[in-house]
């Protein structure tokens, strides 16, 4: 056998190409999954109010009405069921909810890939590029709030998944005209509505689609009947929450809000976001207008699902504009919205790709036009990752402080200050459930956290590691001590490293070098940042100590990424502490 033939590749060229393409497509999802691992186990914000309706010390409620929960103005029946499932499987871990969100996004990406027309699949390079765009926009980093706060992602991305399934059924309906697909389309739209009210926006778009595609009158009547029924029930039970602004009647605010909402995935500058959104809307309107032209018959079916998806996103933008623009245009750039505008830009990308391929038969001409468009899209995607990274940082920072919340509730102290900064602006919603969580060993009572294990360190703190104050190297101050119970107190201060290294831990010792507690860094200290610079913006630290009658003074030692523990500049004399008073 000739030597050359013995070197025959194990994989064919096509298999190798597909393997490389698959890896590239998976990378955006892997990046998001890394964020999920940094999101902390304790759920945050509205989660506690939602589960309080159907969960207590008695376990899950057996009353069906307790599960028909409204979160603000949204119906969240399906998220409530998923939260209950997560409580059973993961003890209520936020990471569990984020993983469910991740699975929803995978399902949505698969459904969107099935909507790509066969003509687009004939070019391997273009098909892989479009699949990569689907992956990037379905796993948009700009929606960091949805990925890292799983309770939110289950609702927002869950609703998007059901809407996508509804659009897939609509596409099947157009091809087959079988009533089964119409029922499926409306069923998934209903599920989306019961997941989050954003899904309501797809109903008028579905109706418009069946009318414009000239489907049988019975199908048209079915869609309009279901749309009117679902929207009527929602509107008749709608009530603006007391802490939300009234519904906006300002046309100018609404007209500015919508393009800002669409462009905010690429920039946090309101003016720039609005400009990008306007350009996207103009292109979308042109595509929609052309699709209504009789000459567009050959392309209309291929464009249909993507035009419907765009209409859905624009509908949600209108809903958000009416309900939120009263809070100011800045509310349009919230990270929790980003999964929707991402679908708008994905749809626009697919529409342009299909359109160019349809009208430009010459391969060279096609790529000459597509290349600069892809270059522009690449710039926007990179900007989207920058926006997402900025959105993820404060969430990850708050998640890193969750051990303090776990420690506080396990110590039996009601530290609303810590809970408000780390878990929820309404601490009472969380605290009202702590008895039920403790009784059933749910997060954050699923495993014990000891004070001496609060800070992870490769070196055990001992007297020979302690160093005298070094203000030029490690400035910091022990500010305050607040008695929470007769023997437990919260300690606060700030510490920073002039070389901008992270402070890993703060240890609190008494005058005899006996460890009394630990603290974590990462709390905002605008006063210190104003005096010493922006690198000290999150130099604040907080923690807990268990006091003894023999304690007279306390010292704070900081652990930076070097071997030694360095004492901060001052000591704290315990006679400075106000006497303990029973907390209400």
**Residue 546 contacts residue 516 (beta carbons within 8 Å):** yes
Q: What is the pLDDT of residue 361?
A: 66
Do 99 and 36 contact (CB within 8 A), yes or no? yes
* Cα(563)–Cα(584) distance, integer angstroms: 43
**Tens of pLDDT, residues 386-398:** 999 999 999 999 9
Mean pLDDT, residues 465-483 taken together: 72
Q: Greatest CA span in the chain, whole angstroms? A: 92
Query: Apex CA 375: angle with CA 374 and CA 378, to 5°?
Result: 85
- Least trusted range by pLDDT, from 344-348, 376-380, 569-573: 569-573
Which CB contacts under 8 angstroms, 24+ apart, belong to 269-273?
Answer: 270/329, 270/330, 270/332, 270/333, 273/332, 273/333
CB-count burial class (<10 Å; 0-12, 13-18, 19+) for 367:
middle
Identify the band that residue 365 occupies on the pLDDT scale cut at 50, 70 and 90. confident
pLDDT higher than 90, residue 56: yes
pTM (predicted TM-score): 0.93
CA distance 411 to 485: 10
> How far is Cα 332 from Cα 271, in angstroms, rounded to an integer?
12
The mean pLDDT of 394-407, rounded to a whole number, is 95
User: Measured at the alpha carbon of residue 9, what is the angle toward residues 8 and 11, in degrees to the nearest 5?
Assistant: 145
Please tell me the distance from the alpha carbon of residue 140 to that of residue 392, in angstroms, as a whole number. Answer: 12
Residue 20 has pLDDT above 50, yes or no: yes
Question: Is the pLDDT confidence value at 19 over 70?
Answer: yes
List pLDDT tens digits, range 299-337.
999 999 999 999 999 999 999 999 998 889 999 999 999
Beta strands 540-546 and 515-523 are antiparallel
- Res. 261 pLDDT band, cuts 50 70 90: very high
Contacts with 154 (C-beta within 8 Å, 6 or more apart), sequence order: 79, 82, 83, 97, 100, 101, 104, 195
The span from the CA of 489 to the CA of 571, in Å, is: 16
Higher pLDDT, 102 or 475: 102
Average pLDDT of the residues in 472-481: 81
**Cα torsion 565, 567, 568, 571: sign:** positive
Distance (Å, whole) CA 146 – CA 132: 21
Residue position matching structure tokens 């119970």: 485
- The length of the chain is 584
More confident residue, 361 or 67: 67
User: Hey, CA dihedral for 20, 26, 31, 34, is it positive or negative?
Assistant: negative
419-466 pLDDT, tens digit per residue, is 999 999 999 999 999 999 999 999 999 988 776 667 755 445 555 556
Instruction: For residues 192 and 169, give the distance between their C-alpha atoms in angstroms, rounded to a whole number.
Output: 14
Q: Kindly state the average pLDDT of the residues 518-532.
A: 93
- Mean confidence (pLDDT) of the chain: 89
What pLDDT, on a 0 to 100 scale, did the predictor assign at position 500?
60
- Residue 539 has a CB neighbour count (10 Å cut-off) of 23
Q: 391 near 38, Cβ under 8 Å?
A: no
């Amino acid at each position: 056998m000739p030597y050359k033939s013995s070197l025959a590749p194990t994989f064919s060229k096509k298999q190798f190409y597909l393997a490389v393409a698959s890896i590239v497509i998976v990378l955006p999802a892997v990046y998001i999954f890394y964020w999920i691992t940094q999101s902390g186990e304790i759920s945050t914000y509205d989660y506690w109010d939602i589960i309080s309706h159907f969960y207590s010390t008695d376990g899950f409620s057996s009353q069906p009405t307790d599960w028909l929960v409204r979160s603000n103005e949204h119906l969240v029946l399906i998220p409530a069921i998923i939260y209950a499932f997560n409580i059973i499987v993961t003890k209520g871990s936020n990471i569990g909810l984020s993983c469910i969100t991740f699975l929803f996004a995978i399902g949505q990406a698969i459904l969107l890939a099935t909507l790509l027309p066969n003509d687009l699949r004939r070019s391997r390079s273009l098909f892989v590029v479009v699949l990569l765009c689907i992956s990037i926009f379905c796993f948009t980093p700009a929606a960091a709030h949805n990925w890292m706060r799983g309770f939110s992602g289950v609702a927002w991305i869950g609703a998007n998944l059901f809407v996508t399934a509804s659009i897939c059924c609509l596409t099947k309906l157009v091809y087959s005209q079988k009533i089964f697909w119409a029922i499926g389309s409306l069923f998934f739209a209903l599920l989306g509505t019961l997941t989050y009210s954003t899904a309501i926006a797809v109903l008028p778009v579905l109706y418009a689609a069946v009318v414009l595609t000239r489907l049988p009158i019975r199908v048209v009547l079915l869609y309009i009947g279901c749309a009117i029924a679902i929207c009527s029930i929602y509107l008749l039970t709608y009530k603006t929450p007391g802490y939300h602004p009234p519904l906006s009647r300002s046309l100018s605010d609404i007209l500015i809000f919508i393009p800002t909402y669409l462009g905010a995935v690429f920039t946090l500058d309101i003016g720039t976001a609005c400009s990008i959104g306007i350009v996207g809307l103009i292109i979308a309107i042109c595509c929609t207008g052309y699709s209504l032209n009789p000459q567009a018959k050959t392309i209309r079916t291929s464009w249909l699902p993507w035009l419907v998806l765009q209409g859905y996103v624009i509908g949600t933008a209108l809903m958000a504009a009416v309900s939120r623009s009263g809070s100011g245009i800045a509310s349009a750039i919230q990270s929790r919205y980003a999964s929707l505008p991402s679908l708008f830009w994905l749809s626009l990308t697919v529409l342009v790709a299909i359109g160019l391929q349809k009208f430009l038969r010459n391969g060279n001409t096609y790529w000459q036009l597509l290349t600069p468009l892809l270059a522009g899209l690449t710039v926007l995607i990179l900007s989207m990752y920058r926006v997402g990274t900025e959105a993820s940082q404060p969430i990850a920072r708050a998640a890193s402080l969750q051990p303090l919340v776990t420690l506080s509730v396990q110590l039996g102290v009601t530290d609303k200050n810590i809970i408000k900064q780390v878990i929820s602006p309404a601490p009472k919603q969380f605290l009202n459930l702590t008895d039920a969580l403790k009784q059933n060993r749910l997060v954050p009572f699923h495993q014990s956290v000891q004070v001496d294990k609060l800070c992870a360190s490769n070196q055990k703190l001992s007297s020979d590691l302690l160093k005298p104050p070094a203000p030029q190297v490690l400035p910091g101050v022990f500010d305050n001590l607040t008695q929470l119970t007769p023997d437990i107190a919260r300690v606060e201060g700030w510490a920073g490293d002039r070389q901008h290294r992270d402070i890993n831990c703060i240890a609190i010792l008494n005058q005899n070098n006996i460890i009394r507690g630990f603290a974590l860094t990462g709390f905002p200290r605008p006063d210190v940042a104003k005096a010493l610079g922006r690198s000290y913006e999150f130099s604040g630290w907080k923690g807990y100590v268990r006091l003894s009658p023999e304690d007279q003074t306390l010292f704070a030692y900081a652990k930076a990424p070097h071997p030694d523990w360095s004492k901060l500049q001052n000591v704290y004399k315990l006679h400075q502490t106000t006497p303990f008073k029973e907390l209400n």
